[in-house]
Amino acid sequence: MKIPFNENLSKLPLPATDKWPEGVWDIEAFRHGSMSLILFAPEGNDYQTPHSQDELYFVIEGSGILEREGTEIPFKQGDALFVRAGEQHRFSQFEKGLKMWAVFWGTEGGEKNV
């Protein structure tokens, strides 16, 4: 299945909410079972809160810092970033035009190491 990037990008930002006062900068592009594919293209501040599922970000364009549980992780175009379910995280110092795919999957609380 092909998922159109630009078609989804053109729908952003979605209207502002109490949680995202500068507009909502993500949109679900595809869902299958527990997996959800989100296009994330933030502008302004990143107001994320912890998610209930594990998450992978694939950086399409741009660079910045992922702040995850108090650790700063620099990233750039082409990188993949993993965030466990429930972890505090947000993006900072990112370039205008940052674009990522974010994939959520699995059970509530994330997959546990065996």
Pick the range with the lowest mean pLDDT from 21-25, 26-30, 33-37, 83-87: 21-25
CA neighbor of 38 nearest in space, from 47, 29, 48: 29
Instruction: Name the DSSP class of 81.
Output: E
On whether the CB atoms of residues 24 and 34 are closer than 8 A, the answer is no
Q: Looking at the predicted structure, is the pLDDT value of residue 113 above 80?
A: no
* pLDDT tens by residue, 5-16: 788 888 888 888
CA neighbor of 97 nearest in space, from 67, 68, 59, 66: 59
Pair of tokens at residue 15: 């209207």
On whether the CB atoms of residues 53 and 106 are closer than 8 A, the answer is yes
What residue segments make up the domains of the chain, in order of their start? 35-75+98-108
> Whole-model pTM?
0.88
* Residue in the block written with tokens 């053109």: 10
* pLDDT tens by residue, 60-75: 999 999 999 999 999 9
pLDDT of residue 60: 96
